[in-house]
Structure 1
Amino acid sequence: MTKSDALRLLNCSVTQLAEKLGISHNAVSQWPAEKIPLAREYQIRDLAKGKKPLNRNVA
């Protein structure tokens, strides 16, 4: 999943995505544009399904 895919899937900004994941805006900004961290992808997919994402300390 790309960063753009994630933002589009949740229809949010980088700042809003960071808040939903409980991480900083800077952390999201540091993700590679072409492939976000896999653990974050799973969390984003959970959010898109209306589920509470697993909250583990992942970058």
Structure 2
Amino acid sequence: MDHRLLEIIACPVCHGKLIFDKENSELICKIDHLAYPVRDNIPVLLENETRELSLEEEK
């Protein structure tokens, strides 16, 4: 994931910063506890494509 892209994209729900999880190929919003998938190096920032983070993942 290009670090310049991470600087300009935001969570569509809260407009907060997203963190790239390389291992799971997801963008994480710590505020809303949501994970957005990254498919073929393209972030999928749709609410219906998210998954909620488990308590273990939030740490």
Normalization by structure 1: what TM-score? 0.33
The structure with the greater share of residues assigned to helix is 1
Question: Which structure's CA Rg is the greater one?
Answer: 2
Normalization by structure 2: what TM-score? 0.33
